[in-house]
A and B are shown apart, each in its own frame.
Chain A
């Protein structure tokens, strides 16, 4: 791997193409049954049992202020490592792991709303589509602010 490239685990949210650095991702798993947590912000979709570990699932659609998934559309789990243990990010579809060159990088354009802008670290201009880099830290932070 050359210095100027990075690997991203990609996923789709409402037709948009997102990615998080592979190093942050612990694993990717299919839909898991979730236990809802009453009284908590809607961003928290519920709790899943990840091989005996209880992991909080965060609904990225809610974080990004996207409409809800259609009934029957089951989200997938991208489990990322955080300082406080693994957290699952709910996404619509899982994509490949792709390698991108730093040359394709550009910071987030100004014309998206400030809240969402915080959630996107930057953009990689791929062939024919854009890869939005999710700011996982921010995604989890916002979620805290919402529930507090």
Chain B
């Protein structure tokens, strides 16, 4: 049971807010229906259907409030439900007294929901009288009650006629006269307050959002045209209006785009529960870890991957992770680990689901596939391990030893793959016997907005996602001819001493013929050469293009299925002038040009391992700073947003976290000296301002790393020695002939995560 408690805690901490919010929205909707139902019931007191509907609503609220730990709400709805049950079953009949009590209960529920929304608690109001009343009314001493309440009933009728169904007996109410006079003005206000939760989020059809998105795109283009006109006019009114239109359209566009993005955490939120349930059902102990919940994805994609993700998670727990005894026998901890990871890479969203279970029994998978005639013996003999592992995505293949109620009916994995491929994604499974299985899902950033570099080739514009872009090199005149050298015919360029393979975009796209006709050859006729240095899976190459234009934020749109198979395009985008530009897929392009091999991931990983082994260097711009009296540290410059100085007075404290106000945000400060510790004497306490390295953390927030003294920015080849790796430090390297620790920015921020997170909430 301990494991449940643990999961429960994680679950409660991370998600209770969301669940409460959902509960409030749902309950307000339910209360609306309850209102209608009670009104109906007053008209038709004997209508069982309405009673049953009210019963269901109260039952739902009771169940959820119990689950969320709102004891008072649960207590009140519990007795209400009991009363309703007896009414519904015809054991009792509806008397005005009972109607009143029920309505009082509805009011009390409403009041408690408002409390929950305001304070997160169900409040201190005393409902014991109401509970007692509801309990008393469950007794079938009906006759007596009816006799007693005769005069009351008359009043009730009067109240009903004036649309005021509440009697004096309702404890929270004032006198009737006041109520009647106030009701007209009061009711909407009260209503409005109680329904804030409902109003904060409404459900909108995604197709409507799509339509809005397209319309806004059109509006932006029209705006551009109008702005063009205003430039050639003197009329100041038109110019001002044009400028306003410009601002409004831009803001509108941004907002509409945002409506479609959701963090992946919104579907992961339920997984701790899923894992607990599945683990319980199969007698396993499983811990779930999630990373990158804030990774944003288009709403339609979120919807589309919900089911496949759930299936993969259930599968991992059901089939991947072993029973505690088995794990112990295999020398692992009793508790299995399921890890979810999401991150953006190369214009795609990657999601990894890994378990540390037994891994796939490849022999069995192949055997099953053979048995079911899904592959031939010949094919089976030629399968690589990875191919064999991916056989489980074939329809009709399930390796589960027994069919459980959780998964293993053989309809799962192929459906997972179909669903993911339908949205243009890919699934890949890697499994190491005894060590575990990792399923890697890659989804395109459909509709996501990405910064891209616009280049021209053969008179056509193309967009290159900025994520793969390293730098731009421009060669003029003589240089353009001289600096391009050939290795056995293949063009290369010496980029700071190392050879950069060159790829001519025009040639790759087969645009050369057209261009020769119009008079532009390779680089012989040109007197300038533009090289876009790109990186695809750890491999650099230079893409030679005709022209380099600006970088722009583009909205990635998928290509129709007719074009999907050409993997050098990642999609298309509509440019500012309304024309369509293709987005290049850097990986696909690199493969097409044979700059990298097809089995690129393996190659890249191996190359990395090799590099680490040989101690061959890595070249990366670094920010050097002093740490302690004699220590030196460095941060990858790529992670650095800005360097700032703050005076000591600017530091404020929230919780026990140091903060500064920075660009309208609250930025938490992390003192590296404290977080990483100084092994040497600390630097002499400096009187001057704090030197702060601003790094980007999740969700566009900044975190300031306070360092002792910023020294330099270097771009050196260095070999990372991981022997000195420790918390917050990736390892050491010799930089500028001195041993320097390389800071693990993610690790440092992560270690003070609670503080950073609380700042996010507080801000």
Q: Name A's B-contacting residues (CB within 8 A).
A: 33-40, 44, 46-49, 51-56, 58, 84-85, 87, 140, 143-144, 147-148
B214 with A40: CB separation less than 8 A: no
A37 with B579: CB separation less than 8 A: no
Pairs of residues from A and B, 10 with the lowest C-beta to C-beta distance, nearest first: A52-B214, A52-B217, A38-B509, A35-B580, A56-B560, A47-B580, A54-B572, A54-B557, A84-B561, A49-B574
Q: Give CA–CA (A89, B566) in the complex, Å.
A: 21
A54 with B460: CB separation less than 8 A: no
Residues of chain B within 8 A of A148, CB atoms compared: 565
Shortest Cβ gap from B507 to chain A (Å): 11
Residues of chain A within 8 A of B135, CB atoms compared: none
Other contacts beyond A53-B214, A84-B561: 11, CB < 8 A: A35-B460, A35-B579, A35-B582, A40-B562, A47-B582, A49-B580, A52-B214, A52-B216, A56-B562, A87-B562, A140-B562
A37 with B563: CB separation less than 8 A: yes
B560 with A87: CB separation less than 8 A: yes
A56 with B559: CB separation less than 8 A: yes
B595 CB within 8 Å of chain A: no
Residues of chain A within 8 A of B557, CB atoms compared: 53-54
A56 with B563: CB separation less than 8 A: yes
A84 with B574: CB separation less than 8 A: no
Nearest B residue to A84 by beta-carbon distance?
B561
What is the count of residue pairs linking A and B with beta-carbon distances less than 8 angstroms? 76
Shortest Cβ gap from A57 to chain B (Å): 10
Q: Among A35, A55, A143, A147, which residue has the most Cβ atoms of chain B within 10 A?
A: A35
B509 with A48: CB separation less than 8 A: no
Q: Give CA–CA (A140, B557) in the complex, Å.
A: 21
B511 CB within 8 Å of chain A: yes
B560 with A37: CB separation less than 8 A: no
B581 CB within 8 Å of chain A: yes
Residues of chain A within 8 A of B562, CB atoms compared: 40, 44, 56, 58, 87, 140, 143-144, 147
A37 with B568: CB separation less than 8 A: no
A47 with B572: CB separation less than 8 A: yes
Q: List 21 A-B contacts (CB under 8 A).
A: A36-B460, A37-B569, A39-B510, A44-B562, A47-B559, A47-B572, A47-B580, A48-B580, A49-B578, A51-B215, A54-B557, A54-B559, A54-B560, A54-B572, A54-B580, A56-B560, A56-B563, A144-B561, A147-B562, A147-B563, A147-B565
Q: Among A54, A85, A148, which residue has the most Cβ atoms of chain B within 10 A?
A: A54
B715 CB within 8 Å of chain A: no
Q: Give CA–CA (A53, B214) in the complex, Å.
A: 7
Q: Give CA–CA (A143, B566) in the complex, Å.
A: 14
A51 with B214: CB separation less than 8 A: yes
A39 with B566: CB separation less than 8 A: yes
B213 CB within 8 Å of chain A: yes
Q: Give CA–CA (A3, B580) in the complex, Å.
A: 43
B218 CB within 8 Å of chain A: yes
Q: Given A52-B214, A54-B557, A85-B560, answer yes or no on A37-B582 (Cβ-Cβ < 8 Å).
A: yes
Q: Give CA–CA (A34, B217) in the complex, Å.
A: 18
Residues of chain B within 8 A of A36, CB atoms compared: 460
Contact string, B444-461, partner A, CB cutoff 8 A, digits 1/0? 000000000000001010
A39 with B581: CB separation less than 8 A: no
B574 with A54: CB separation less than 8 A: yes
Shortest Cβ gap from B298 to chain A (Å): 15
Shortest Cβ gap from A33 to chain B (Å): 6
Residues of chain A within 8 A of B460, CB atoms compared: 35-36, 38
Q: Give CA–CA (A51, B211) in the complex, Å.
A: 10
B214 with A35: CB separation less than 8 A: no
Contact string, B539-572, partner A, CB cutoff 8 A, digits 1/0? 0000000000000000001011111011011001
Q: Give CA–CA (A86, B560) in the complex, Å.
A: 9
Q: Give CA–CA (A34, B460) in the complex, Å.
A: 11
Shortest Cβ gap from B450 to chain A (Å): 16
Q: Among B213, B458, B561, B569, which residue has the most Cβ atoms of chain A within 10 A?
A: B561
Nearest A residue to B509 by beta-carbon distance?
A38
Residues of chain B within 8 A of A44, CB atoms compared: 562-563
Q: Give CA–CA (A39, B578) in the complex, Å.
A: 23
Residues of chain A within 8 A of B216, CB atoms compared: 52
Q: Among A49, A58, A84, which residue has the most Cβ atoms of chain B within 10 A?
A: A49
Nearest B residue to A46 by beta-carbon distance?
B580
Give the contacting residue for A40; candidates B218, B458, B563; CB below 8 A.
Answer: B563
Shortest Cβ gap from B262 to chain A (Å): 21
A38 with B559: CB separation less than 8 A: no
Q: Give CA–CA (A47, B566) in the complex, Å.
A: 15
Q: Give CA–CA (A58, B559) in the complex, Å.
A: 14
Shortest Cβ gap from A141 to chain B (Å): 10
